[in-house]
Structure 1
Amino acid sequence: MERAKYFIKNNYRLLLLYLLISTIFTLELIVYINDAGDQTIFANELKKHGFFEFAIYRYQTWSSRLLIESVTMFMSGHHYIIFDISLLGFTFFFLYALKQIIFPEKNHLYLKYSLPIIFITVFPGVLFTSAGLIPTVTNYLFPMFALVIGWYLLNQKNKFSVLLAFIAIIFAFMQEQFTVLGFIIIGFLLISEFIRNKKINAKYLGAFIVSILGLVSAALAPGSDIRLSREIATWYPGFNKLPLITKLLKGYLETNRVLFTTAEFNIFLVLLLTIIILSIIKRRFFSAFMISSILYTLVINKLGISNWFTAVQKIIASQNARTNQLYFNIKENLYPLIIYTALLLIIATVIFCLFEEKVKGITAVVILFAGYASRMLVSLSPTIYASQLRTYIPLLFAIFVVVLLLLKEGYSLFKNSSKLVKSQ
């Protein structure tokens, strides 16, 4: 008890800010709670099924998400105040856990205060409304929260905390996109830990095994085949006839269309701005010029001025005019494929080079790759063009983390420079 009082006394300003931002974020989201969505369907299911029974039922008939489905039903069918309080509490713990993971040191005070403000800026409430607020939050935001909170608890020495960590991680990995994200990142950290310490981290290994089980569960769920056949008929007739490479290329083009051509996410612009500022601080002027060129192109494209993406938009328009959804011509799409790939490689290379410690640069690039791979998973679904922006949430989370890592790198450089000036 004394330890808790001491902690609150020394951190109450920061905790109050996190609580304030969590409250604002919750109030913003619940504005959309009565909008049309799948929560009505889930609420009706509560009359037919128990909590765990519904998880098994959905696993057999529709989805591999198990307890996520049950939580969605529970939140949809009971008074919304339960959802509101849960959202507020989990947002607060998520922000605190992420702070402890990214900024565990006693310094970085300004960054700790900036973290929740950046979060609420880059994750607008409308992002979580495409399937109805409650289903979108429980299927995307809650797994994201669970993964971060679980990872924080996993690194605690208390056995009870580790137990809670695995419960949270298991819940997160019932969502297939976050399973892919976690599989790649945890796999990388497991290997890095082994190379550095010449031994396997048992906690990381356990989390990695959970991610593998999540992938297996998603692949083998009886309901997945049923859902696939229904969604093919509804959203993309003939999707099962497309070769795997065509599905992946279509997914690649669609993902980058949203990131670059339409530039619908402000977090991506924040990433580019952060890279430019850090490049200038580190006197990497060529890197600053390259990323500034990309940012300039995105801005003028938004303004309707001709640029690299004008030809891409023409290709997209001509393809949308076709009634044959199965048509795909690699030659026709060669230009956007080359442009998108070049831009991604430039951004990844610049990010890697901005870190003084190359292992940190590799970590940042791996996190970005994991987020991108989680979005690319949607390429295997007939809802590739119908699932809207919610399927980008794991990628946005990865970009958000990388922005924080870049800010930390710049802050450390600034502090060291200040100390050097004072010593002179």
Structure 2
Amino acid sequence: MTKLIKNNMLSIVFSSLMVIYTMGSSITSGDVVYFKNYAKEFDYQYLTFALSRYSTWSSRLLIESISAYFSVHYIQFFIMIFGISFLFMTSIIQLTGFDDKKYSQYKLIIPILAIFFFPINQLFDGAGVIATMTNYYVPMCLLAYGLLIFKKDSKYYLVKLLAFIFAMQQEQFALLGFIIILITVGYRICQKLTITYYVPFLIFSMLGILSAKLSPGNAIRTIKEIKERFPDFESVSFFRKLDIGFIRMSYDLLFNKLVTLFFILMLVSILIFSVFKRKINQSITMGAIIAMIVLPYLQIWTPISKVKIIYDSFPKGLNENILSITGQTVVSIFPDLVMVLMLSAIIVTIWTILATYRDKIIIFTLLIGGTASKMLLSLSPTVSISGIRTFVPMIFCGFLITIYFIKLSLDVMIESNQQTRIEIKS
């Protein structure tokens, strides 16, 4: 028992901190009031309630069910947060390879980063901590566990599949899971490797997307939200919707302190690896990008400062939704142009500093999946008001990318130290 606790001490401490942070939020505010009333209305038959919601409001069947359950049972909610956080941390440590003995002294990096990437009282408090965490934090943790299918250990395959299925009920994570598994299957086909192991995961991720698309509840909800939130939505073309989503994503990445923090941490990890690899041009590029984003927070002008001025001047819809006018004037092109150039520079830098195609595939799968999961909101009338909780899938990908680059940097450092020892002995 003592050995078990010692081996999992980081996960235990992290889980305890997440519970403490959750207790610091008001669990009785937000959507919990509505869910508590719904639970009483349905005589605490939570699955019956979820089936009703599937027909009238949301495709998130089991997620709706546990949201109602934990809105009534607070103690069980805290126990669940401890358990799911423990599962998340142990899964991330295994998924990123930090369970290897040579990284044992560096494992502390992961929970420290996780606390910065996933602050409970800010990231998961949009619709009330219980509703937001059951809709975003729980699927994220279960997806992390489900992705352990990529490890050679095939134990608990069915349990991982069930965890993955639950996560796929959240449409953003369904798209992210689909992209990850699809690229994996494509890669294995090209390498003439078996894909049988991954086919069920691919099927259920597709079903998650289809469920969100075909759910009668989602259709009803969309009609209502268009009327209440974004009356101009149906008159906006598909490409304008994508640009509105891109504007919203870019704005938060650059000017929302919490989202910017995750973005900067990811870029810093890339910069560190560039320096370790002695890639001068890439290091200068990443340093310049980080400076352009950070300096406006210190009231120092950069091209990013102009982007904010232009975005803030964009016209608003009936309910203060930002509308896209990109391309209508020369000035309106500037923000998108700056963002595209900056993202292109990041992509080129990443591509040129990674030595193996395996590393490139992993990083770019996460980049594509994270971006797509956020851009999915472009097709929703809540695109401008959905809050930073909709960044959770993207932040999750950024978290994995950051850890991956830190691990690559550690590999360089460990190899260099070993080479130095050999030279000293000789």
Structure 2 length-normalised TM = 0.92
Structure 2 equivalent of residue 383 of structure 1: 382
Answer whether contact 1:111 1:408 (CA < 8 A) is retained.
Answer: no
Which of 222, 226, 233 is the matching residue for 2:220? Answer: 226
Is 2:243–2:324's contact at 8 Å kept on the other side of the alignment?
Answer: no
Contact 2:316 / 2:322 at 8 angstroms: preserved in 1? Answer: no
Matched positions, count? 413
Matched, 1:162 2:157: yes
Aligned to 1:183: 178
Among residues 119, 124, 142, which one is paired with 2:138 in the alignment?
142
**Range 113-122 or range 66-75, more displaced:** 113-122
After superposition, what is the alpha-carbon deviation per residue over 1:311-346, rounded to whole angstroms, capped at 9, x for unaligned? 222222222567685853222431111111111111
Aligned letter for 1:31?
A: G
Does structure 1 residue 363 correspond to structure 2 residue 362?
yes
- Asked if structure 1 preserves the Cα contact closer than 8 Å seen for 2:322 and 2:384, the reply is no
Structure-2 residue corresponding to 1:95: 89
**Which among 240, 256, 277 is matched to residue 234 of structure 2?**
240
Q: Which moved more, 1:357-366 or 1:319-328?
A: 319-328
Contact 2:31 2:127 (C-alpha < 8 Å) held by counterparts: yes
Query: Could you tell me whether the CA contact under 8 Å between 2:351 and 2:360 is conserved in 1?
Result: yes
* Residue range with higher mean Cα deviation, 372-381 or 362-371: 362-371
CA RMSD of aligned residues (A): 1.8
- Which of the numbers 118, 123, 127 marks the counterpart of 1:123? 118
1:173 aligns with 2:172: no
Match of 1:29 in 2: 22
Report matched runs for 1:42-121 at 5 Å.
42-49=35-42, 50-78=45-73, 80-103=74-97, 104-121=99-116
Moved more, 273-282 or 166-175: 273-282
- Aligned residues: percent identity? 31
Q: Which residue of 2 aligns with 1:397?
A: 396
2:59 counterpart SS class? coil
In structure 2, C-alpha distance between the alignment counterparts of 1:326 and 1:34, rounded to whole Å = 31
- The residue aligned with 2:324 is 328
Contact 1:246 1:328 in 2 (8 A): yes
Runs (5+) with no aligned partner, structure 2: none
Pairwise CA distance, 1:17: 2.2
What is the distance in 2 between the residues matched to 1:389 and 1:326?
16
Classify 1:102/1:57 alpha carbon distance in 2 versus 1 (closer, same or farther; 3 Å).
same
Q: Distance in 2 between matches of 1:317 and 1:51?
A: 44
Distance in 1, Cα, partners of 2:295 & 2:418: 41
Alpha-carbon separation, structure 1, partners of 2:173 and 2:110: 21
Pair 1:184–1:321, CA change in 2 (3 A): closer
Q: Distance in 1 between matches of 2:95 and 2:304?
A: 38
- The equivalent residue for 1:310 is 305
Aligned mates of 2:140, 2:323 — CA distance in 1: 36
**Aligned positions of 1:279-358 closer than 5 A:** 279-320=274-315, 328-331=324-327, 332=329, 333-358=332-357
Q: Match of 1:422, SS?
A: helix
Matched, 1:408 2:382: no
Q: Is the 8 A contact 2:232 2:317 kept in 1?
A: no
Specify every segment of 5 or more residues in structure 1 that has no aligned partner in the other structure, as ranges: none
Using the TM superposition, give the Cα deviation of residue 153 of structure 1 relative to its aligned residue in structure 2, in angstroms.
5.8
TM-score normalised to structure 1 length: 0.93
Identify the residue that residue 17 of structure 1 maps to in structure 2. 10
